[in-house]
Structure 1
Amino acid sequence: MSDIQTDDAPVTASKLAGAAEQVGIPDPHGDTLLARAVTINKPAQELYDFFRDFANLPSFMENVERIDVLDDRRSRWVVKAPGGRTVEWVAVVTEERAGKYIAWTSEEGADVPNSGTVTFRDAGERGTVVTATILYDPPGGVIGKVIAKMFQREPAIQARRDLNRFKQLMETGEIATPAKNREEFEEMGL
């Protein structure tokens, strides 16, 4: 019998060690890996330019309260967490290629250690496939992850929603909203 472990699942679903390195996350921080993608009918460079200005991200990332751009490579993120709390970290861009990808990692002391990549791949006449691959440590471990899911604050749920809002914003210039406003949904615990 071989000592080599194999796993035919997509690498983002793999339980094997080293999955983050296989998807190209440099300097990985975290133990939970997720990936989400959306096709946006805009050129890759236009999407990259909007995304790379991190001050733009709270306009479509629902749980991001604010991002303070500290310099060309560093930004402080303040993100909503369950129970009316916020979590914070400083993200550092570790690699990037204009119009193609951005990779980051959190600095030591992050409330939620994380790292990842956002890639922008040409899809011909359909536009651009934007893929977010994120590695993170949920606060409170498995219990914290369950609580975050219950309050719709779990990163896998948010990544899908945020990418869909990014698509709406870039293709139409606005984000469709439900009849109730954000505060009303938060009062309901959603």
Structure 2
Amino acid sequence: MIEIHHTALACAPVAAAFDYVDDYRHVPTWMFGITKFDPIGDHDQGLGAVYDAAMKVGPKTLDSVVKVTGWERNSVIELESIDGLYTHSRWQFEPAGETETRMTVDFRYDLPGGLAGKALGKLIEPFVAQAIRHTDATLRRQVEQSAKHSS
């Protein structure tokens, strides 16, 4: 299992940061490599919502179906895959002053065993650092822009 922990500070109130991340339509615009993040069924937000996701890693596209397994407004969004590549992510939102939000993500994923898993691991390894940098910068910028437009 590969685990990633990252914290970023956004110049936006907690409610604005949470609402932006919680809106599935924004996910492909800020999460590096995500090419699809579509709701399955009528429930498209909150606890129990399910999404069909695809991530492009180099020449390979990895498919996954993820379910919201933890959700508390302005505090936590937790997703876990129920089909495809195993992933688990937990996003936490905490006020850092009146107009800033500390966003913390813990992300885990499992690769398949054997030679296929080793080959995929070598493909993903350089991608992870780049993905974190891109996602951090893009998400902070988009959250901050969204907060400015809504105030």
TM-score (normalised: structure 1): 0.66
5+ long unaligned stretches in structure 2: 147-151
Q: Alignment partner for residue 97 of structure 1, among 67, 72, 83?
A: 72
- Give the C-alpha shift of residue 126 in structure 1: 5.8
- Give the C-alpha shift of residue 125 in structure 1: 4.4
Which string of whole-angstrom CA distances, capped at 9 and with x for unpartnered residues, describes residues 113-149 of structure 1?
A: 0112001111014600111101101354344222223
Aligned to 1:170, the other structure's residue is in SS state helix
Q: Does 1:166 align with 2:139?
A: yes
Residue pairs, 1:145-184, within 5 angstroms = 145-150=121-126, 152=127, 154=128, 156-172=129-145
TM-score (normalised: structure 2): 0.81
2:149 aligns to what? none
Aligned to 1:171, the other structure's residue is in SS state helix
Q: Does 1:65 align with 2:27?
A: no
- CA distance in 1 between counterparts of 2:18 and 2:66 reads 17
Q: Alignment partner for residue 119 of structure 1, among 76, 92, 97?
A: 92
CA contact (8 A) 1:39 1:126 kept: no
Aligned to 1:124, the other structure's residue is in SS state coil
5+ long unaligned stretches in structure 1: 1-30, 174-190
CA contact (8 A) 2:69 2:79 kept: yes
- CA distance in 2 between counterparts of 1:136 and 1:101 reads 19
- Give the C-alpha shift of residue 62 in structure 1: 2.8
Aligned to 2:31, the other structure's residue is in SS state coil
- Give the C-alpha shift of residue 163 in structure 1: 1.9
Higher relative contact order by CA 8 Å / sep ≥ 6: 1 or 2? 2
Amino-acid identity (%): 20
Superposition CA RMSD, Å: 1.8
CA contact (8 A) 1:36 1:160 kept: no
1:86 aligns to what? 61
Which string of whole-angstrom CA distances, capped at 9 and with x for unpartnered residues, describes residues 68-105 of structure 1?
A: 1123311111110222x211111100111100011111
Q: Which amino acid aligns with 1:117?
A: R
1:41 aligns to what? 11
Which one has the largest radius of gyration? 1
CA contact (8 A) 1:34 1:134 kept: yes
Q: Alignment partner for residue 103 of structure 2, among 130, 152, 155?
A: 130
Q: Which amino acid aligns with 1:95?
A: G
- CA distance in 2 between counterparts of 1:138 and 1:36 reads 20
